Amino acid sequence: MTAVPPHAAQLDAALQQAIRLHQGGRPAEAERIYRNLLHYLPGHPRICNYLGIALKDQGKVVEAAAAFQRAVDVAPDFVPALSNLGNVLFEQGKRAEAEAVYRRVLASGPDMPDTLKNLALLIVDSGRFAESFPYFRRHAELTYGGAPGAARAHGQTPPYKAKHDEEQREYLKRSEEAGAGATPPFHLEEGARVAGNAVNPDTSGGEIAAKWANRSPQIAVIDNLLTDEALDRLRQYCLRSTMWQKPYPNGYLGAMPEHGFACPLLAQIADELRGAYPAIIGEHPVLRWWGFKYDSQLTGINIHADFAAINVNFWITPDEANRDPESGGLIVWDTPAPLDWTFAQYNAPDAGQRIRDLLAQTGAKSVNVPYRANRAVIFDSDLFHETDRIAFEDGYENRRMNITLLYGRREAAAR
């Protein structure tokens, strides 16, 4: 006897049940229902997409990609499945295929924040640092700028971020009164390249490279890193751009590329650093970067390590803001994170004590690099490090600011 197919109402009820199970953290049960529904509705794009998400949530990435591809084969312009297909292809390391899919999504609608961000991340992961900037900046404009279709971030603003934002508004208001023109609520400076050098040439005659090669741990301190014009322009970019969107528990704020920290001057600096210090940076591409800004009443970054080959950290707030010339900089330990530690392990909220236990067991010693404006500290990213005690003057322009560029993959530098 032939089974009678369910009515449309029964199929819809089953779909809603699967969605509830999935949202309730039971993707395996939802998967079974989705597969059963596809028996009656083969190739249904929406159900294929739901199935792909349930499979991905169970770690079945290859099967998820097949489900998303099936949805796209049936409905080539179905954006949710296209976006998800791009994401799983990226996760599988299939960059060229993922990029093609992301570009298909943006061709159907250029102002999709998540896809803009994901495409930018993929471009960076492919070693094409500066090419990602327009996508990061457009993502920031849509997410934080209130443009049509904006996807504003929600959530309570911590008091220290509210304090910073008010200080920045007052600073920008003073700039307007001085004739700089009105500044919109969300604003990114151009951050244009400078005509000449942005990074001062290495005048040490190879001394820094020699110390790097022969020193353990590998740490190089470089003063007068940027030319005067580049330093001033970078400061203005960081003071005037409303990109300080990520609050951290200790009270400092982060500006990430997806917040708009992506300007031509930064690309110029990153490229010229490689040219100035080839024996240190080599051919490692820039894979991550950010700016941090601090409140002198609070603390800095806890002890951690970064998941990269080379860490370039430099400071841009004028020295006059620092109350203690012997402090305010960086403490770098001579012990690296074990190679079998994952990014999550040595950056978890409770990692501090575990790291300090390891440092005590190994008899680790620290190198204290005091704060100086336009000073860079370049070191092996595996080395544990933390912000030294901060004692800066009050006031918006006196907030301590540092820029970090991470070059290369950790495994590429493993010894």
Residues spanned by the domain of 59: 8-109
79 and 183, same domain (yes or no) = no
CA distances (Å), origin 379, targets 68, 195, 252, 338: 42, 29, 22, 16
* pLDDT per position as a tens digit, 102-141: 999 999 999 999 999 999 999 999 999 999 999 999 999 9
88 and 174, same domain (yes or no) = no
Contact predicate 108/209, CB 8 Å: no
179 and 290, same domain (yes or no) = yes
Query: If you write DSSP's letter for every residue of 262-328 in order, what string do you get?
Result: --HHHHHHHHHHHHH-HHHHTTPPEEEEEEEE--TTS--PPSB--SSSEEEEEE-S-GGGBS-TTSS
Residue 153 lies in a domain: no
326 and 384, same domain (yes or no) = yes
Query: If you write DSSP's letter for every residue of 375-387 in order, what string do you get?
Result: -EEEEETTEEEEE
Higher-confidence position of 77 and 341:
77
Higher-confidence position of 207 and 329:
329
Residue 152 lies in a domain: no
Three-state secondary-structure class, residue 17: helix
pLDDT of res. 345: 75
173 and 95, same domain (yes or no) = no
Number of C-alpha atoms within 13 angstroms, CB side, residue 397?
A: 11
175 and 321, same domain (yes or no) = yes
Contact predicate 321/398, CB 8 Å: yes
Residue 266 lies in a domain: yes
Total number of domains constituting the chain: 2
Q: Of 88, 109, 130, which residue sits at a domain end?
A: 109
Tokens for 8?
């449309």
pLDDT of res. 38: 92
pLDDT of res. 412: 59
Mean pLDDT of the chain: 90
Contact predicate 153/246, CB 8 Å: no
Residue 115 lies in a domain: no
Rg, the chain, Cα only:
25
Q: Which CATH number fits the domain that encloses residue 405?
A: 2.60.120.620
Higher-confidence position of 217 and 178:
217
Q: How far is it, in rounded angstroms, from Cα 85 to Cα 98?
A: 7
The percent of the chain in helix, strand and coil, each rounded to the nearest 5, is 50, 15, 40
Percent of the chain with pLDDT over 70: 92
Contact predicate 12/38, CB 8 Å: no
224 and 358, same domain (yes or no) = yes
334 and 394, same domain (yes or no) = yes
Tokens for 252?
């400092």
H helix intervals, 95-227: 95-108, 113-125, 133-144, 159-175, 207-214
Counts for the chain of helices (H) and strands (E), in that order:
16, 10
Residue 143 lies in a domain: no
pLDDT of res. 152: 44
357 and 276, same domain (yes or no) = yes
pTM of the model: 0.90
101 and 163, same domain (yes or no) = no
93 and 188, same domain (yes or no) = no
Residue 247 host element (H or E): strand 246-247
Residue 144 lies in a domain: no
